[in-house]
A and B are shown apart, each in its own frame.
Chain A
Amino acid sequence: MTTLTQAQPRPLSISDRLILWYDRLKTPLFYLILILWSIICLAPLYFTLVFSLKPVANAYDPPLFWPIPFTLDNFRDVIGALPLFPRWLLNSLIVSLAVTILRVLFCAMGGYAFARMDFPLKGFLFNAMLVSMMIPGQVTLIPAFLVVGPGIIRGGLKIGDITLPTGFGLIDNLGGVILPGIATAFGIFMMTQFYKSLPRELEEAAMMDGLGRWGIFFRIVLPLSQTQLLTLALLTFQGEWNAFMWPLVILRTPENFTLPLGLNWFRGEYYTLISKVLAGSLFNTLPILILFFLFQRYFVQSIAGTGLKEG
């Protein structure tokens, strides 16, 4: 009986047939999708590389896929002949490094306080911080500009004979770009969560040995959180290196621009020299790419982590 039914299989339903086709086609199909999207991702960078190796006069000329005629002039100009480019690179480096170092330190300190210490208003402050993360940046952009730059009250606040400045006066100054970024709610939150998951035993032992809070923090806690600090540092550096809107609001003269600002300005001023912009773009992209290749694991974990912890 059983052999008979096996010999005559029932006709396949439509969904069965679909699944059969799917099984047969899925591997090539998935590879096709992945390769197609890879081409889309790589093509712009590839064309940028090709045309940054071609003379300015050939910025729109075929051949499209190979740098003929070949020249290194654009890179030479970007590094040496146009003094603004190295300046922008340096400015970007100063801003990104300063923000990264300060933010990592201050967020680790704040996160540690929230995770381990007991103090009045703690719960309220933590919740207020979480709520503040949902406010779009456009809302605070104008007051932040006024505080960092010209001040809330033009000419300062006059109390009797004393005039108090109401702003930092950091317009067109790299310090003004750095200042609001030195600590963020996201960074504090990330470090708080991490320190909450860290076992307390080591710290308690150190406390027994008579080490104070600062000693514990700098000698025990910070070394224990290297991975987390590195993740925050990478995210911060990437964000600041690529930042545009805030530097655009604060910086005014080309000498003080960061690289993204400078590239955009240069494109506007010398639109026939697009090949130089392409070469400069590669300089903006390269450091991040190197960081990404070196620390890929941290980037991927931090991104994946944001999705997982939700819900």
Chain B
Amino acid sequence: MTASSAPLAPALTLRQKARRRRETLTAYTFLLPYLFIFLVFTVFSIGYAFYLSFTRYNLLSPPQWWGLEGYRRVLCVESWFPRPEGAPRPTCDDLFIRKALPNTFKYTAIVVPVQTIISLVLAFAMDQKIRFRRLFRTIFYLPSVTSSVVISLIFVWLFSPIGVINQIFRLNINWLNDPRYAFYTIMMVNIFTTSGTLMLIFLAGLQDIPTALYEAAAIDGANKFQIFRYITIPMLRPVIFFVVTVGIIGCFQVFDQIYVMTAGGPLDSTTTIAYLIYKWAFRDTTVKMGQASAAAFILALIIFIVTLLQRRIIEGSGTVSQ
């Protein structure tokens, strides 16, 4: 910036040059701690992870160049390949395509809409003339300030076969050990923890809508539903976009709850991409850091595409209503 404007500016005196040099030095000193973190844990780490994703690396011997083999193993299923005569089938890690990918999408597709609707309804109720609003707000935010591990530990106990939930509702469900229920139990936990935070974001958005808009609509004879449909929802669209984006990103990376509650089981029914990356890189008996890196880049790409698509959809619905 300074370089391009230099020819136009009058020639700098030595003193000004010295001062500018000192300013640069001071600025970089101020930034030094962050620059260190940024260079080591962001720039270098992304670059090295990208390199690792093309290697085979079990931590015992140095990374071995592997080309796209890691990506191929992540993205294929063994049964796709007909068994050639005598020759072995190419190796695939079926878990990603058969379990982690569909599970992650299923998880996001259920949790994001449910938590968005619950938090919107709660925020809408809170936006009325309600007594004890501060108390409600505090209570709703409690699950969000509690550690996800603690919440998960408590829910493992609450949802155990002889636990409080089964006793209160006189059920006999093995919530976390039955592949039919385990994933939904984890979804419930996540909806329970995040709805409070999202409610606060929605509430701030609702309170930010100018009352003049509501008054103008009321004078024009719009009824309550029309006001909600044509004023509240369009005015809230940026906030909805934000809440859905945050929700999607959070859901695609869900880890703590799964690690604590089921460790991916039973029968891999709760294995998600983020959990699988951890499992491959740190938990398996022979760690697969290269393959885990490949999966991490695939996850980043998926999050990127889904966020873009979702932005399209929410903005698209905006043009339709106008």
Contact = CB atoms under 8 A, between A and B. Distances in A.
A10 to B, nearest CB: 15
A263 B122 contact: no
A34 interface: yes
Given A60-B162, A140-B42, A260 B149 contact: yes
B122 A37 contact: yes
B102 interface: no
A310 B241 contact: yes
B242 A307 contact: yes
Nearest to A148: B41
B215 interface: no
A144 B136 CA distance: 40
A144 B160 CA distance: 36
B259 A248 contact: yes
B153 A110 contact: no
Contact of A140 (B33, B49, B237): B49
A29 to B, nearest CB: 8
Given A44-B154, A142-B293, A19 B1 contact: no
Interface string B154-170: 11111010111001100
Interface stretch (B9-17, B140-148, B174-182): B140-148
A129 B38 contact: yes
Interface in B189-205: 192, 195-197, 200-205
Interface residues of B, number: 106
B149 A308 contact: no
Nearest to B160: A60
A139 B297 contact: yes
B77 interface: no
Contacts of B46: 135, 139-140, 143
A141 B33 contact: no
Contacts of A304: 200-201, 203-204
A34 B202 contact: no
B254 to A, nearest CB: 11
A202 interface: no
B48 A152 contact: yes
Interface of B: 1-3, 20, 23-24, 26-28, 30-31, 33-38, 40-46, 48-49, 52, 59, 62, 118, 121-122, 125-126, 128, 130, 136-143, 145-151, 153-158, 160, 162-164, 167-168, 192, 195-197, 200-205, 208, 223-225, 237-239, 241-243, 249, 252-253, 255-256, 259-260, 273-274, 277-278, 281-282, 289, 292-293, 295-297, 299-300, 303-304
